[in-house]
Chains A and B, each alone.
Chain A
Amino acid sequence: MNTLDWCILFGTLLSIVLYGTWKTRGNKNIDGYLKGDNSMRWWMMGVSIMATQASAITFLSTPGQAIEDGMRFLQFYFGLPIAMVIISITMVPIYYKLKVFTAYEYLESRFDLKTRLLAAILFLILRGLSAGITLFAPALVLSTILGWPTPFTTMLIGGFVIIYVTAGGTKAVSLTQRQQMAVIMGGMILAGILAYTMLPKQVSFTDTVKLAGSLGRMNIINTEFNLNDRYNIWSGLIAGTFLFLSYFGTDQSQVSRYLTGTSITESRLGLIFNGLLKIPMQFMILFIGVLVFVFYLFNQPPVFHNVVLKERAMQTPQGRQLQAYEQQYDVLYAEKRQSVDRLVEAIHHDDDAQVNVLKEEVKGLEARERVLRDSVRATIATAVPGAKVQDRDYIFLNFVLQHLPNGIIGLLLAVIFSAAMSSMAGELNALASTTTVDIYKRSLKAEASAKHYLRASQGFTVLWALLAMVFAMLATFAENLIQFVNIVGSLFYGTILGIFLTAFYLKRVQANAVFWAAIIAEGVVLFCYYSFREEIAFLLYNVIGCGVVIILSLIFQVFAKRTHSA
Chain B
Amino acid sequence: MSPTTPDRPPVFKHWRTWYWLVLGVLAIQILVYSWLTRLFL
Contact B40 A218, beta carbon cutoff 8 Å: yes
A38 to B6, CA, bound (A): 15
Which among A216, A233, A261, A265 has the greatest number of chain B C-beta atoms within 10 A? A265
CB <8 Å contact, B26 and A279: yes
Pair A262/B37 contact, Cβ less than 8 Å: no
Interface size class of A (residues with CB under 8 A): 35 or more
Is there an interface contact between B19 and A88, defined as CB atoms closer than 8 Å?
yes
A38 contacts B2, C-beta separation under 8 Å: yes
Surface stretch bound by B, among A105-113, A133-141, A207-215: A207-215
With CB as the reference atom, state the residue of chain A lying closest to B29. A279
Binary contact readout B10-41 vs A (1 if CB under 8 angstroms, 0 otherwise): 10000100110111011001100110110111
B15: which A residues are within 8 A, CB to CB?
A: 88-89, 268
A85 CA to B18 CA, complexed, in Å: 9
Please give the distance in Å from B41's CB to the nearest CB on chain A: 6
A221 touches B37 (CB 8 A): yes
CB closest residue in chain B, given A220: B33
Given that A85-B19, A219-B41 are known contacts, is A263 also in contact with B1, CB under 8 Å in the complex?
Answer: yes
Interface residues of A in 206-237 (CB under 8 A from B): 209-210, 212-214, 216, 218-221, 223, 233
Residue pair A268, B5 in contact (C-beta under 8 Å): no
Which residue of B6, B22, B36 contacts A81 across the interface (Cβ within 8 Å)? B22
Bound: A223/B33 CA distance, A? 12
Chain B residues whose C-beta falls within 8 Å of the C-beta of A265 in the assembled complex:
5-10
**Does A82 count as interface, using CB distance less than 8 angstroms?**
yes
> Inside 8 A of B30's CB, which chain A residues have their CB?
78, 221, 233
Closest to A275 in B: B22
- With the chains together, A78 CA to B19 CA distance in Å? 15
Whether the pair A272, B37 counts as a contact (CB closer than 8 A) is: no
In-complex Cβ contact of A218 among B6, B18, B41 (8 A): B41
Query: What's the minimum C-beta distance from A346 to chain B, rounded to whole angstroms?
Result: 15
Q: Is the CB of B34 within 8 A of A221?
A: yes
Are the CB atoms of B19 and A213 closer together than 8 Å?
A: no
In the assembled complex, the CB of B31 is this many whole angstroms from the nearest CB of chain A, namely 9
Q: Is A276 a contact partner of B22 (Cβ separation < 8 A)?
A: yes
Chain A: CB-nearest residue to B40: A213
Residues in A whose Cβ lies below 8 Å from that of B2? 38, 262-263
In angstroms, Cα B1 to Cα A193, docked, is 42
Chain B nearest CB: distance from A384 CB in Å?
39
Q: Which A residues have a C-beta under 8 Å from some C-beta of B?
A: 35, 38, 74, 78, 81-82, 84-85, 88-89, 93, 96, 99, 209-210, 212-214, 216, 218-221, 223, 233, 261-265, 268-269, 272, 275-276, 279-280, 283
With contacts A262-B2, A268-B18 known, what are 17 further pairs, Cβ within 8 A?
A38-B1, A78-B26, A84-B22, A99-B1, A210-B40, A218-B36, A219-B41, A220-B36, A220-B37, A262-B5, A265-B6, A265-B7, A265-B8, A272-B22, A275-B22, A276-B25, A283-B33
Q: Contact residues of B with A, CB < 8 Å?
A: 1-2, 5-10, 15, 18-19, 21-23, 25-26, 29-30, 33-34, 36-37, 39-41
**Could you write out 21 A-B pairs with CB less than 8 Å apart?**
A35-B1, A38-B1, A38-B2, A82-B23, A82-B26, A89-B19, A93-B7, A219-B41, A220-B33, A220-B34, A221-B33, A221-B34, A262-B5, A264-B5, A264-B7, A265-B7, A265-B10, A268-B9, A269-B10, A272-B22, A275-B26
